[in-house]
Structure 1
């Protein structure tokens, strides 16, 4: 093990690096007694501190990057936890298979996708990633191993899905892939104004389109208090060749200040909203699912202080009023959200005890870290979210107080009994460990 302070999360929060790094290369590797507390680390694409462990050892799982088996009839893939979603796509899309659920970046490990129970543009049809996990193996810090599935140790499977890596180290998992006709996606884009129009588009698209998502202009809400572009799509067999986007040059370094001033972002957002575009087009799947992946290290645009992403989910009945208030407060604070996304979660019940996706409307906003003004705004957004009966996404969080977490995830007390006493994260120290009086080595 060696000291390494370079392990950071995607939001570039000003957090201390881990005291040690342990590289795991084989499923048979164990966790030595001297490194506690541990925390599994995938590819660092969580935005906050759920993947950080400043007072212990990070267990780097990228060495567990092997496919184990694949059933070509059922689409069930068994692979190690350090496999990236991009690895799966590269190998299986040409064979007519796709991920059942995918987040907005393909550079996430399978273990990380499970630990954060990631969601995508098709939650209304397919649920979250956790709904498609058939089984997994969990390594506990005491050396014990558990195979978890709906039939074997199902309570441990429920605790591990969305459990932020706190129940143990995921070694491998089985997930069910889905058949697709080809690389292409037919996308329809519709401008809208107002939350009611967004909700109506979501309802009418539920059965006809597998994927739905809306980009919103949070800095120029318009007369309806909300304006944006609603995108809906389906996999299709392309009638012509579709090519992935060229990777754009990324920033080779992190600038001292944000390169996204509010005025520039507001002008950019207005241009995007008014951009002429065909109502329907056929594109390669990559620009539809992973537009930001085309810009390496785009997170560096926010400067050395990093940024906060605020993602919350609001129950359906409270969404029209609460979402409007969230956007209005963000716009009034003049903080500037570079990327603002709005979508509907379906009626699937959460697959894990601490799963974030649940029936409702989810809003994601990005804010450059400007210190106290930004933190004050995020506290205000918490108040609106909690008053509406909502929750904030742990995988995107770097600052929510304990009350925001415990009210948003009331099953956290039940989850406690599945905690591994030799595993800890900066996130859990902040939101629950002190409240629970937990003692970790």
Structure 2
């Protein structure tokens, strides 16, 4: 096992990784921007290095500054967290060139899954179900119209690179398709440096399910149940729960087997997840993408398995055996992403946190990126904490969730806590019959 690790991320996920590193006796090193100097993850680290101003391009995405910080602190490994750098094959190669242990899948696996079109093609060859769509980038709007006519409306338009819902839009006819294509291309060029776009069939009323997997050093891939990520705003996840209340045993087993096959196909080592779109009416599922990183929703998986997935990442990266003997989930867990944003329109907010009072009690876990007195700035993603609960079954978990959300007090910047309370009061969510369109319907948006 290496003796020290630098965490190339910020906020909640940086603190979560640093916590496990210190518990394992590793020297835990943080990097931070000028805007984040007072955040809890900086104080928790054994050593912290200022790497630049608030602008992410000049700090958290500045790989030269991060690698220089690793050199200055004699770090032996680098963990990229769950953000952009975690799925950067280039950064993984740069770290290896500096003789740093990369805590993540091999660069080749990262590269192969980093492009959604390439990923679709690989999964099709491997026998993983893939939604009808294109098999190469769509070069222009005219071609998009032709492909949509072949696939059949409605279709989903998305950048070929990245994840997190950026640039995604559903199109139900040619005018909306042309607008969605232009928006996706612009987003892809702005964020990823190239404008490649793909189109695939859109399934109304679908559920978004991800299967967490772990690639072991001997090539074995293990699946850990599934997480239902269907509660989304702007195609970005707000709630994750396991097990999914909308799957029957046949679908559950089929997706687990497909996820293992996907991980084996790309030679995954370490943590990842395979995401599927499920058509409940047809009882069919389709591959969406594979995240070759620690999944953001890993907390609920940890709560029902008792396995620290970050610890397993460290062990696999160091060439050590994992520390668990089984992965059978037990109980029910639900995680809520607490954002600094307007709970009606979901527009990001900022400001000083005047009050921060966390709920406490059995089955409650808080992974926080901020504390009372900190300031939420407009420079980064509005996630400020993850509130997770575990119960003996779903009803038990829902009861704990309602009490925990009611008890969580944050004053200062706007938060989505009022929305989470509203969500927990919805019969559709309580019954477990929700789908990816539920939040839009709650806000009166159709289509």
Report the TM-score when normalising by structure 2: 0.27
Larger RCO (CA within 8 A; separation ≥ 6)? 1
TM-score, length of structure 1 as denominator length: 0.27
